[in-house]
Amino acid sequence: MLRGSVGLVTTMGALHAGHMALVETARAENDSLMATIFVNPTQFGPNEDLAAYPRDLPHDLGLLEVAGVDLVFTPSPDVIYPAGYQTYVTVEQVTQGLEGAHRPGHFRGVATVVAKLFNLAQANRAYFGQKDAQQVAVIRRMAQDLNFPVDVIVCPTVREADGLALSSRNVYLTPEQRKAATALSQSLLAAAHAYEQGGRDPQVLTRTMREVLDAEPLAETEYVSAALAATLEEVTTATDELLLMSLAVRVGRTRLIDNLLLPASLNTREGLAALGAI
Ligand code: PAF
């Protein structure tokens, strides 16, 4: 059973090394560790991949057991959303742009389920990956605004050796698409390089990203963005503020997202914590 300080890792399953990095960190920093596996229907749009989303509960439970998780909560949708359910959490400004603009209702679903999981778990610390940078901003905002007594801890994105950010959706990619998908991280690295050279014009940085993406015939760009890291407001004029460069790209039918904070030194556990304190 749970005792002492409790860490929480919320997931939708199909666990990969990115999730397991959160689990390992949480295991090391808490007396007890709880994980949740729930493919949350309210965060999927009508034309999204809810039905196809990868599910492998026995595999996930095996990984979590080996990693020393004390309790795994795997509710069915009717446990989280029983008949008559009608309460949702809406986080305002920070959900407006980026993913929020392209996936209407997504963050209402995320904020609602995470609020419920926070209430159910009563954890001291909850761990999220920077891969979903806007989700992190939404959850931080919600936890602060609604006085959840939980520390939201953000861990750096875990990448394959060639730079592809780990995602449960990577399993959808054919070998050819998998190669093409490296264009996402390469475009972010190109922006980071331009930034290191002194580039501070967001339009130049996003153009640099687009050039890399446009050179990959299998990549269809949905958006590339330069936003203020503190608020996620998009910027179009040169600034010395910390930036979040982000993008959503379709490779075949698979929609992939990635992001990088600039300066690039921010993409560490310490950098992410400092950002959360702004
Ligand atoms: O990042 C995810 O896997 C999900 O959005 C989360 C936080 C578990 C909520 O369903």
25-69 confidence digits (pLDDT tens): 999 999 999 999 999 999 999 999 999 999 999 999 999 999 999
Q: Which helix H or strand E contains 225, and what residues bound it?
A: strand 219-228
Query: Ligand 1 center to residue 10 CA distance, Å?
Result: 6
Residue 66 tokens read as 């080996």
Confirm or reject: Cβ of 43 under 6 Å from ligand 1: yes
Interatomic CA distance for residues 119 and 148, integer angstroms: 8
- pLDDT, tens digit, for every residue of 230-267? 999 999 999 999 999 999 999 999 999 999 999 999 99
User: Cis peptide leading into 263, omega within 30 of 0?
Assistant: yes
- pLDDT at position 8 over 90: yes
User: Does ligand 1 lie within 6 Å of residue 40's CB atom?
Assistant: yes
Query: Cα(250)–Cα(172) distance, rounded to whole angstroms?
Result: 12
pLDDT at position 278 over 80: no
CA of 227 to the centre of ligand 1 (A): 22
- From 228, 227, 222, 200, select the one nearest 210 (Cα to Cα): 222
* Share of residues in the chain with pLDDT > 70 (%): 100
Verify whether ligand 1 is closer than 6 Å to residue 132 (CB atom). yes
Ligand 1 centroid vs 54 CA: distance in angstroms?
A: 14
Query: Can you say how many angstroms the Cα of residue 148 is from the centroid of all Cα atoms in its chain?
Result: 20
Tell which one of 118, 132, 148, 155 to mutate to probe ligand 1, the residue whose CB is within 8 A of the most ligand atoms.
132
More confident call, 6 vs 278: 6
Which residues make beta-bridge pairs with 225? 246
| Predicted pLDDT at 163 | 98
Residue 277 has pLDDT above 90, yes or no: no
Among the listed residues 19, 102, 106, 193, the single catalytic one is 19
Convert the pLDDT of each residue in 114-130 to its tens digit: 999 999 999 999 999 99
Task: Establish whether residue 99 lines the binding site of ligand 1, counting it when its CB lies within 6 angstroms of any ligand atom.
Answer: no
d(CA 7, CA 31): 8
Q: Are 255 and 269 in contact (CB under 8 A)?
A: no
How many whole angstroms separate alpha carbon 250 and alpha carbon 16?
A: 21
Is residue 193 among the annotated active site residues?
A: no
Give 276's pLDDT tier (boundaries 50, 70, 90): confident
Phi–psi pair at 204, nearest 5 degrees: -70, -40
In the predicted model, what is the mean pLDDT of the chain? 97
- pLDDT of 97-109, one tens digit each? 999 999 999 999 9
Whether the per-residue pLDDT at 90 is higher than 90: the answer is: yes
pTM for this predicted structure? 0.97
Q: CA-CA distance, 181 to 163, in Å (whole number)?
A: 9
Distances (CA, A) of 111 to 28, 90, 189, 221: 26, 7, 30, 26
